[in-house]
Amino acid sequence: MPALSIVKNTAPEDVAFKRRPKNSVKGQQTKAAIVDAALGLATHIGLEGLSIGVLAERMQMSKSGVFAHFGSREELQVSVVREYHARFEDEVFQPAMQAPRGLPRLRALFNNWMERTAIEIDQGCIYISGAIEFEDREGPVREALVTSMTLWLTALNRAVVQALETGDLRPDTDASQVTFEMHGLILTLHYQARFMRSADAMTRGRTSFEHLLARCLP
Amino acid sequence: MPALSIVKNTAPEDVAFKRRPKNSVKGQQTKAAIVDAALGLATHIGLEGLSIGVLAERMQMSKSGVFAHFGSREELQVSVVREYHARFEDEVFQPAMQAPRGLPRLRALFNNWMERTAIEIDQGCIYISGAIEFEDREGPVREALVTSMTLWLTALNRAVVQALETGDLRPDTDASQVTFEMHGLILTLHYQARFMRSADAMTRGRTSFEHLLARCLP
């Protein structure tokens, strides 16, 4: 069942991206709306910029109203990471599962990731900003971020391995190395386009991927 | 004169990394000590985490004592970026200038950058954290960071071009693409080693560089 593939092939404790039971449909909707607003804020100002107060203002709710849906600011931050993960899975991962295993699927994953990154050049990306904010900070927010990133890189790596198995890539290809380099070109593209405002970073990213594939073709 | 090479070949407005005239030797020493402490803090908590108050406490000085050396918090942040730039130049760039032009110098630049990055896996790096903090924030701190990064990538790119000119790399090599990919492998290495605590990121980074060179060899 491709619907769970990012989550599959990981240790059980990593498959924790389930929401708590909700009290009511209305309560669920309100909570979802708060998380949506929080994610919108976090991409711009970072997860650490989030506060119950700022969100209450944005939602035109009382602080205690927002607080009722989350036991703590940390729980709110974790909910934002999980929501981001769910959207990333829907936009980047799932559509690529329609493509046949092997190079077509790997290309689809890369293209979808590039499209997502192109949007985030304007918006920011919590996988990148969160990595800086929580590099030294232990706790559930860091854990949620690392789990999410690990799930994604594992799913990507699986697509590379499948491309070896189908014979689309050379059998001696080091799949983890390919995954590492794909991650790298997205990070550089984001850095140079978003921070340095370089105009040709998207093209450079695509060129890097073609060089990477050319090296691994049979 | 290699001593100025990072700064050369750039527009005059980019060559602004000069300190203000100092009032006294003692004043200079105190200011340098404050910047040193501020840089140590900023690598861990980010440039935005710096405050005159925190620094005064760290230096066991009064707030007004620290404030006397910097007109504003922003000026302090810019001084930290310039100090970081000067150290990066001393540790990464200058020693590589002893190596002959071409592949030896390019390898030396890469090796020195890797050594610097290995240290920053423990400490943090203000070129990476600063890029996140100031991606959307205009002003002199952002400008200092972008200038510094541009100077470094320009210097690196020049070494790649020289390696084409000496015939160490194929004449049809796209130098800017090589520079982009070198930047990428450092960013991934930092992300995966520092944030995800991956044990093999240094090795992956070195392997990426060898693949990159192999593609460009005559």
- Answer whether residue B207 shows pLDDT above 80: yes
C-beta of residue B74 within 8 angstroms of C-beta of residue B141: yes
Which tens digits make up the pLDDT trace of B124-133? 898 999 998 9
Residue A218 pLDDT more than 80?
yes
Distance from CA of B138 to the nearest CA of A (A): 11
Tell me what pLDDT residue A10 has: 41
Token pair of B3, please? 């001593």
- Give the SS3 label for residue A99: coil
With 70 as the cut, is the pLDDT of residue B147 above it?
Answer: yes
Asked if the Cβ–Cβ distance from A180 to B192 is below 8 Å, we say: yes
Mean pLDDT of chain B: 87
Considering just the CA atoms, what is the radius of gyration of chain A in Å?
Answer: 19
Establish if A206 touches chain B: CB-CB under 8 angstroms: no
Residue A21 pLDDT > 80: no
Tell me what percent of the residues of chain A surpass a pLDDT of 90.
Answer: 66
Q: How far is the C-alpha of A79 from the C-alpha of A59, rounded, in Å?
A: 16
d(CA B147, CA B131): 12
* Confidence category of residue B98, pLDDT binned at 50, 70, 90: very high
**Cβ pair A44:B185 closer than 8 A:** no
CB B164 within 8 A of CB B173: yes
Q: Which residues of A touch B127 (CB under 8 A)?
A: none
pLDDT (0 to 100) of residue B1: 34
> Per-residue pLDDT averaged across A205-216, rounded?
96
Count Cβ atoms below 10 Å from residue A49 Cβ, excluding itself.
Answer: 12
Instruction: Considering only the beta carbons, identify the residue of A44, A146, A204 that sits closest to B196.
Output: A146
Q: Mean pLDDT throughout A194-211? A: 94
Model confidence at B138, pLDDT cuts 50, 70, 90, reads very high
SS (H, E, C) A43-73: HHHCHHHCCHHHHHHHHCCCHHHHHCCCCCH
C-alpha–C-alpha distance, residues A104 and A108, integer Å: 6
Alpha carbons A38 and A47: distance in angstroms, whole number: 9
Partner-chain residue, chosen from A44, A136, A196, that has the shortest CB–CB distance to B146:
A196
On average, the pLDDT of chain A sits at: 87
Q: Quick one: B18-216 is in which CATH superfamily?
A: Tetracycline Repressor, domain 2 (1.10.357.10)
The answer to whether residue A123 scores a pLDDT higher than 90 is: no
Q: Which architecture does CATH list for A77-216?
A: Orthogonal Bundle (1.10)
Using DSSP, how many helices (H) and how many strands (E) does chain A show? Answer: 10, 0
Question: Backbone phi, then psi, for B60, in 5-degree steps?
Answer: 50, 45
Q: How far is B53 from chain A (nearest CA, A)?
A: 21
Question: Which segment of A1-15, A81-95, A165-179, B92-106 scores lowest on mean pLDDT?
Answer: A1-15
Q: Among all residues of chain B, which has the CA nearest to that of A121?
A: B135
Question: A68 CB contacts (<8 Å, ≥6 apart)?
Answer: none
Cα gap A162→A103, rounded to integer Å: 8
Mean predicted confidence (pLDDT) in B56-81: 90
pLDDT digits (tens, 9 = 90+) for B39-51: 999 988 889 989 8
Please name which of B153, B113, B155 lies closest in space to residue B131, comparing C-alpha atoms: B153
Short-list A18, A24, A20, CA closest to A4 = A18
The alpha carbon torsion through A166, A170, A171, A174 (nearest 10 deg) reads -110
pLDDT band at A16 (very low <50, low <70, confident <90, very high): very low
| pLDDT category of residue B6 using cuts at 50, 70 and 90 | low
pLDDT in tens, A23-46: 678 888 889 999 999 999 998 888
Mean pLDDT, to the nearest integer, of A99-119?
A: 95
Instruction: Say whether B184 and A180 touch across the interface (CB within 8 A).
Output: no
The alpha carbon of residue A105 is apart from the nearest alpha carbon of chain B, in Å, by 23
In this complex, do A196 and B46 lie within 8 Å of one another by their Cβ atoms? no
Model pLDDT for residues A126-146, shown as the tens digit of each residue: 899 999 899 888 999 999 999
Place B35 in a pLDDT band, splitting at 50, 70 and 90.
very high
B187 touches A at CB < 8 Å? yes
Q: Residue A36 is encoded by which pair of tokens?
A: 């949506």
Q: Is it the case that residue B23 has pLDDT exceeding 80?
A: no
Report how many Cβ contacts below 8 Å link chain A to chain B.
Answer: 100
pLDDT, position B107: 97
Q: CA dist B149 to A97, A193, B88, B159, Å?
A: 38, 13, 11, 16
